[in-house]
Structure 1
Amino acid sequence: MELTQNEKKLLVALAPLGSADAAALAEKMNTRPEAVVQYANLARERGLVEVERDVTRRYRPTEEGLAYVGKGLPERQLFESFGEAIPMRDLQKHPLAKIGIGWMRRKGWITIRDGVVHKTGNAPPGPDEVAFARVGETGEIPADEEGVLDLVKRGLVREEDEVTYTISITPHGRALLAAGLDLREEVGTLTREQIISGAWESLPLRRYDVTKLPRRVYPGKTHPYQRLIDEMRRVLFDMGFAEMSGGVVQSSFWNFDALFQPQDHPAREMQDTFFLAERWPLPEGYERVREMHEHGGDTSSTGWGGRWSAEKAQQCVLRTHTTSLSIQHLAEHREPPVKAFCIGRVYRREAIDPTHLAEFEQLEGIVMDEGVNFRHLLGFLKEFYAKMGFDRVRFRPGYFPYTEPSVEPEVYVEGLGWVELGGAGIFREEVTAPFGIEHPVLAWGLGISRVAMLRLGLRDLRHLYRSDVEWIRETPIYGGGR
Structure 2
Amino acid sequence: MKRETELSSDRVQVVLGFIKDLKEFKLDSLSQALGIPEATLASTLEDMRQNGIIDFTVKEEEGYELTERGARYKAEGLPETKLTSLLKEKGALSIDEVKDELGDEANAAISWAIKKGYVSLKKEDGKTTIYFRKASAETLDDLISAKRAEALQRGIVRKKTIKTYHLVSAKAVEQPRLPPLTKLTHDDIVSGRWKQGLKPYDLSALPQPSRGGKKNFFQEFLSWVREILEDMGFQESLGPYVETEFWNFDALFQAQDHPAREMHDVLYIEGKGKINDEDLIRRVAREHELGWGYSWSLDKASSLVLRSQNTAVSARFLAEHKERPIKMYSVDRVFRKDEIDQKHHIEFYQSEGIVVDKSLSLADLIGFLTQFARQLGFDEVRFYPSYFPFTEPSIEGYVKHPVLGWMEALPGGVFRPEVTRTLGTDEPVLAWGIGISRLAMAKFGLNDIRFLYSPDVDFLIEEEL
Regarding TM over 0.5, the answer is: yes
Instruction: Report the TM-score, using the length of structure 2 for normalisation.
Output: 0.57
How many Å separate the matches in 2 of 1:374 and 1:422? 13
1:242 corresponds in structure 2 to 235
- Cα deviation code 1:184-235 (max 9, x no counterpart): xxxxxxxxxxxxxxxxxxxxxxxxx9xx999744232111111111110111
2:259 corresponds in structure 1 to 266
Could you tell me whether the CA contact under 8 Å between 1:402 and 1:428 is conserved in 2?
Answer: yes
- Structure 1 alignment gaps of length 5 or more: 1-20, 24-55, 60-97, 107-152, 156-162, 174-208, 296-302
2:246 corresponds in structure 1 to 253
1:83-482 alignment, distance < 5 Å: 167-168=199-200, 216-284=209-277, 285=279, 286-295=281-290, 303-476=291-464, 478=465
Give, in angstroms, the shift of residue 414 of structure 1. Answer: 4.0
Shift in alpha-carbon separation, 1:424–1:214, aligned structure 2, 3 A: same
1:57 corresponds in structure 2 to 39
- Cα deviation code 1:231-267 (max 9, x no counterpart): 1011111111100001101111110000000111000
How many Å separate the matches in 1 of 2:213 and 2:372? 29
How many Å separate the matches in 1 of 2:253 and 2:398? 26
Give, in angstroms, the shift of residue 444 of structure 1. Answer: 0.2
CA radius of gyration, larger in: 1
Matched AA of 2:369? L
1:113 corresponds in structure 2 to none
Q: Secondary structure at the match of 2:364?
A: helix
How many Å separate the matches in 2 of 1:465 and 1:341? 23
Q: Secondary structure at the match of 1:167?
A: coil
Give, in angstroms, the shift of residue 102 of structure 1. Answer: 5.8
Percent of aligned positions that are identical: 43
- Cα deviation code 1:35-85 (max 9, x no counterpart): xxxxxxxxxxxxxxxxxxxxx9349xxxxxxxxxxxxxxxxxxxxxxxxxx
Give, in angstroms, the shift of residue 407 of structure 1. Answer: 0.1
Could you tell me whether the CA contact under 8 Å between 1:367 and 1:442 is conserved in 2?
Answer: yes
Give, in angstroms, the shift of residue 335 of structure 1. Answer: 2.7
- Cα deviation code 1:405-439 (max 9, x no counterpart): 00000113444432211410010110010122121
Q: Secondary structure at the match of 2:352?
A: strand
Matched AA of 2:199? I
Shift in alpha-carbon separation, 1:334–1:169, aligned structure 2, 3 A: closer
Q: Secondary structure at the match of 2:256?
A: coil
Count, aligned residues: 290
Shift in alpha-carbon separation, 1:231–1:164, aligned structure 2, 3 A: farther
Q: Secondary structure at the match of 2:215?
A: coil
Shift in alpha-carbon separation, 1:102–1:258, aligned structure 2, 3 A: same
How many Å separate the matches in 2 of 1:368 and 1:444? 12
- Cα deviation code 1:258-317 (max 9, x no counterpart): 00001110001101011111211233211111000111xxxxxxx111111111111111
Shift in alpha-carbon separation, 1:103–1:427, aligned structure 2, 3 A: closer
Could you tell me whether the CA contact under 8 Å between 2:401 and 2:443 is conserved in 1?
Answer: no
How many Å separate the matches in 2 of 1:327 and 1:341? 12
Matched AA of 2:349? E
Shift in alpha-carbon separation, 1:154–1:411, aligned structure 2, 3 A: closer
Shift in alpha-carbon separation, 1:383–1:213, aligned structure 2, 3 A: farther
- Structure 2 alignment gaps of length 5 or more: 6-37, 42-67, 77-155, 159-179, 183-197
How many Å separate the matches in 2 of 1:466 and 1:413? 20
Shift in alpha-carbon separation, 1:169–1:277, aligned structure 2, 3 A: closer
Give, in angstroms, the shift of residue 351 of structure 1. Answer: 1.1
How many Å separate the matches in 2 of 1:272 and 1:345? 16
How many Å separate the matches in 2 of 1:433 and 1:449? 32
1:14-93 alignment, distance < 5 Å: 57-58=39-40
Could you tell me whether the CA contact under 8 Å between 1:250 and 1:318 is conserved in 2?
Answer: yes
Matched AA of 2:286? E
Could you tell me whether the CA contact under 8 Å between 2:310 and 2:352 is conserved in 1?
Answer: yes
How many Å separate the matches in 1 of 2:75 and 2:368? 60
Could you tell me whether the CA contact under 8 Å between 1:335 and 1:437 is conserved in 2?
Answer: no
How many Å separate the matches in 1 of 2:181 and 2:226? 49
Instruction: Report the TM-score, using the length of structure 1 for normalisation.
Output: 0.55
Q: Secondary structure at the match of 2:353?
A: strand
Matched AA of 2:442? L
How many Å separate the matches in 2 of 1:407 and 1:445? 11
Q: Secondary structure at the match of 1:237?
A: helix
- Cα deviation code 1:294-351 (max 9, x no counterpart): 11xxxxxxx1111111111111111110000101000011231111110111111111
